[in-house]
A and B are shown apart, each in its own frame.
Chain A
Amino acid sequence: MTQALDEIKIGGMGASRKRVEDNRFIRGKGNYTDDIHLPGMLHMEILRSPVAHARITRIDASKAWEIPGVHLVLTGEMMATRNLAWMPTLSYDTQAVLATDKVRFQGQEVACVIADDPYIAKDACEAIEIDYEPLPVVVNPMQAGEPDAPIIRDDKENQAGNVIYDWEVGDAEGTDRAFEQADVVSRLQLHYPRSHPSPIECCGSIADFNRSTSKLTVYMTTQAPHIIRAAVALVAELPEHMIRIISPDIGGGFGNKVPVYPGYVCSILASILLERPVKWIEDKTGNLISTGFARDVYLDGELALRRDGKILGMRMRTLADHGAFFSDAQPSKFKIGLMHSTFGCYDVPVAHLAARGLYTNKAPGGVAYRCSFRVTEAMFFQERMMHAAANDLGMDQAEFRRINLVRDDQFPHRTPLGFLLDSGQYGACLELGLKAVGYEDFLRQKEEARKNGRLLGIGISTMSEPLGAGNSREYDILGIKMFDSAEIRVHMTGKALLRTGARGQGQGHETTWAQIVAHELGIPADDVTVEEGDTDTAPFGMGTYASRSTPVAGAAIAMVCRKVRAKARKLAAHLLEVSEEDIEWELGRFYVRSAPDRGVTIQECAMAAYSNMPDGMEPGLENNAYYDPPNLTWPFACYIVTVEVDPETGVWDVLNMVAVDDCGVRINPMIVEGQIMGGLTEAFAMSSMQFITFDSEGNCIGSNYMDYLIPTSWETPGFELHGEVVTPCPHHPIGAKGVGECAAVGGPAAFVNAVMDALAGTGVRNIDMPLLPDRVWEAITERHDVSGAPPVRSDG
């Protein structure tokens, strides 16, 4: 009898399947980089600069060499003899591996020690003597842009000042005209503070060079193993087939584990020199002060408005502080990532964005921290500007958004800054959020409370962000196109092995990828093993960041399954002795159209592929697929927060937070909700406490978990999630959109807008994040904006 499988029962699409990776993690049997122990392994520690800007006048490592157990001390000078003192960044700049001439930020790598154990290596680092001749420090990019500012990158020819780039997009003249016609111009200036992805697991690597095979194996904390392999091949000039990058379990990435760091390079060189495995595991301070930070962008934004609330034009100038080296991990064509995705979800006729990037004496980075290349800043700026504009018009926040959101019948929607939004039901999401939070009711409560001197506020953030780079026409990193891949082998008994070019760090790929296979082939998800992260076995892919796994690798999985199904259909025709055209597919089974009882399962087809294939057919049932997406996917989200601010202390409490996410078809709803909840937690973190700043000497404040505040279970509020609105992505094979970072991208503005709403009437337009109680208190009592920009040094 014909019997299509129950998709949920086999763990297919839409099943909240429990995660398979959990089985090892809950037993403490994960295999993270630091868990790996190789025979004869040595340990590396890095000595970092204590100062932010100085000339190195002397390095004396002789005392370190004398310590028993020390095998090697690496300095910039030694790296230079091998042409490895500098390395290229992912943004066409160079970065020092170990400093030779100068140090340019606090925490910069100066020397490395390789020893029998990490304690000895640390002792030896302390025994290295270095003389630093201090130079003037610049930690504020406005100051860095002044004509008399010290030039930070004097190592670069043709680098006159500290400006890295000036980049613009949009229609400057058209935008000017829109502003001339505006009834009201609303302007907002603010700073999105420097932040750090700070996964709990720090970065690390174990390099293992085997002289007898000439093969270099590197176990490392990387979200993009194939990019690393390419980088190692190019930088260390090793043949690519002799390099194997293995990314074992990763203890969180969030963009921090995309770039190439000096520690990786040094451990590789040390292993080649010593012919022994060399392990480097960074400490938390090293991670926070030297590896990929995020954000640190200043906004000067303006909206041209008609009295009735219609936006006529948008103008944005941004100033990004990239630190001492421009090492953003982002598509090469766009200097400030996808900042120009700002205002995508609103129907804005004309817009212009001008972006400037600057060097300062701060750590390099600019990684996409739970973010698709600066879209976090883009959406934060957008929603803060929306909030200010509605107030300037004296208009209700929800109504102002209703008037301007792109309507359902406007898709596909071309934005004035060049994106094509694929689909959405923005209005439905907003209304759902308003209903869930009890909007009108809350507005009344707020008025009541105000009479008693209590400050309540509500903040809305609606946004659509571009997820899943490429397409390859526009998106590449150093010329490597941003596509992704999948490869599947269906074994004889119908079980399967799936490999992709992505690399999860907690997103649950081992679980969800098998669900796509179940959906496409009817093979129960439990019968599918998923492997990622080993460049010797996985097909080439660009890795996992910027919520690109489901949009790109997930699509490749569906496509490779369809190739396999096409072959299985031929096998089915052979087994059923009918022509292929007479065969129909239902989940897990082919059958004869005219006689639905006559059928064969996918497992029977798999067996036939190895034991009973038709004459002339190539044996086996496996294939691969490279997927180049036609466009980015555009999920939409509406986040609404209500707060109460204590006017006496500036402390604010979240009363309620409602999140409506339309991320297209959900493969595993449990995992999708988990991603949203994680993102909301980080949104709360950024708005309330988490940031990195510097004093005027360039000392990093936020260099450890006592200063870099991450909310715990105690501070973090509860969240109410809604997933009722589903707009499938029209160009994705299974209708899915990215989701992993939406909440971290769109969430912060909802919290900040809520607090600003509570402060309405004080004349305060902005408090820079994080909204620490002292900043809020200052705004309330002094009735002025509070800036979080780092200090300008006055002593020259």
Chain B
Amino acid sequence: MTIIYEETGAEGGPEIPQQRVTIRVNGRKVIAEVEPRLLLAHLLRHGMGLTGTHTGCDTTNCGACTVLVDGRAVKSCTMFAVQAEGREVTTVEGLATQSELHPLQEGFKEEHGLQCGFCTPGMMMAAKALLDRNPDPTEEDIRWGLSGNLCRCTGYQNIVKSVLWAAEKLRSQSAG
């Protein structure tokens, strides 16, 4: 493979430092050369083409970028890619199997838990972290568990219902 560098700006400008990271993303090992300041969200979106992880703010408030890092919900705009070294990252693209949707995905569709869909991947990942910890949450548990994620379209009533729907399905699956 060949990489072409274009000549722009002053010659001999400062070298941009690069660092190698190895991350397991949705079960696959990925090696990347990144600027140390590159945000994990940007590596996922632009480096790896996993554009399901969205970015909606500059201040770690919106939660649209939420992914799982070693099973915990993390706002990927608040983590440098290099901090994910050796970790296991799950994005929305890793939720479904080839043949089957995750119950959270089904639940959001069933209960009309999304409108524009921009906050949805982050909502679902935050909900996944919650349900992994607490398979039988109350409405209040869900409202607290998702309080790091903003939605401007849907309001939260249907989002809460979506998560309850998924929780029930997951429980019946593990019981059956």
Contact = CB atoms under 8 A, between A and B. Distances in A.
Contact of A713 (B53, B58, B61, B147): B147
B112 A200 contact: no
7 contacts: A28-B92, A67-B9, A68-B10, A200-B150, A201-B118, A284-B58, A712-B148
Interface string B43-69: 001100111111111110110100000
Nearest to A676: B155
Contacts of A705: 57, 59, 61-62, 150
The 9 closest A-B pairs by CB, nearest first: A28-B52, A25-B117, A251-B118, A506-B116, A506-B115, A28-B92, A681-B155, A705-B61, A713-B156
A355 B9 CA distance: 52
A168 B75 CA distance: 50
A302 interface: no
A533 B55 CA distance: 23
A713 B146 contact: yes
B116 A66 contact: no
Interface string A238-261: 000000000001111110000000
Contacts of B28: none
Q: Tell me the interface secondary structure of chain A in the complex.
A: loop
Contacts of B59: 284, 704-706
Interface in A635-650: none
A80 to B, nearest CB: 25
A268 interface: no
Q: Tell me the interface secondary structure of chain B in the complex.
A: loop
Contacts of B106: 26
A182 interface: no
B13 to A, nearest CB: 4
A116 B143 CA distance: 41
A270 interface: no
B84 interface: no
Nearest to B157: A677
Nearest to A682: B152
A170 interface: no
B147 A714 contact: yes
A507 B112 CA distance: 11
Nearest to A251: B118
B114 A25 contact: yes
Contacts of B62: 200, 284, 705
Interface of B: 6, 8-10, 13-14, 35, 37-38, 45-46, 49-59, 61-62, 64, 91-93, 95-96, 101, 105-106, 108-110, 112, 114-121, 124, 142-144, 146-160
B117 A21 contact: yes
Interface of A: 18-19, 21-30, 32, 34-35, 37, 65-71, 115-116, 119, 197-202, 249-254, 283-285, 505-508, 670-671, 673-675, 677-678, 680-682, 704-706, 710, 712-714, 716, 718-719
Contact of B92 (A27, A35, A67, A201): A27
A538 to B, nearest CB: 19
Contacts of B151: 200
A68 B9 contact: yes
A182 to B, nearest CB: 41
Scoring A35, A70, A283, A704 by chain B CB atoms within 10 A of each residue's CB, the highest score goes to A35
Contacts of B149: 712-713
Contacts of B110: 18
Nearest to A30: B117
A251 B109 contact: no
A68 B8 contact: yes
A710 B150 contact: yes
Nearest to B14: A68
B121 A680 contact: no
A68 B13 contact: yes
Contact of B53 (A28, A250, A507, A712): A28
A678 B116 CA distance: 11
A397 B121 CA distance: 44
B56 A285 contact: no
Nearest to A21: B117
A729 to B, nearest CB: 23
Contacts of B49: 37
A678 B154 contact: yes
Nearest to B156: A713
A28 B51 contact: yes
B116 A201 contact: yes
Scoring B8, B91, B108 by chain A CB atoms within 10 A of each residue's CB, the highest score goes to B8
Contacts of B58: 283-285, 704
Scoring A19, A507, A508, A677 by chain B CB atoms within 10 A of each residue's CB, the highest score goes to A677
Contacts of A27: 52, 92-93, 95-96, 101, 105
A201 B54 contact: yes
Contacts of A253: 116
Contacts of A25: 114, 116-117, 120
A26 B56 contact: no
B53 A18 contact: no
Contact of A716 (B56, B64, B142, B156): B156
Contact of A119 (B38, B50, B64): B38
A249 B117 contact: yes
B10 A671 contact: no
Contacts of A713: 142-144, 146-147, 149, 156, 159-160
Nearest to A31: B51
Contact of B10 (A24, A67, A250): A67
A115 B148 CA distance: 33
Given A19-B109, A21-B117, A719 B157 contact: yes
Given A37-B46, A716-B155, A251 B54 contact: yes
A413 to B, nearest CB: 32
A671 B112 contact: yes
B157 A32 contact: no
Contacts of B108: 22, 26
Given A198-B152, A681-B156, A705-B61, A35 B51 contact: yes
A710 B152 contact: yes
Contacts of A116: 6, 8
A251 B117 contact: yes
B118 A677 contact: no
Nearest to A505: B116
A674 B115 contact: yes
Contact of B152 (A69, A252, A670): A252
Given A35-B51, A704-B58, 4 more contacts: A200-B62, A505-B116, A674-B158, A705-B150
B116 A252 contact: yes
Contact of B154 (A284, A285, A677): A677
A28 B118 contact: no
Contacts of A24: 117
Contact of B150 (A23, A197, A249, A712): A712
Nearest to A29: B52
B152 A26 contact: no
Contacts of B14: 68
A252 B8 contact: no
Given A68-B13, A251-B56, A674-B112, A28 B155 contact: no
A292 to B, nearest CB: 15
Contacts of A19: 109, 112
A18 B9 contact: no
Contacts of A119: 35, 37-38
A69 B52 contact: no
A22 B109 contact: yes
A631 B127 CA distance: 45
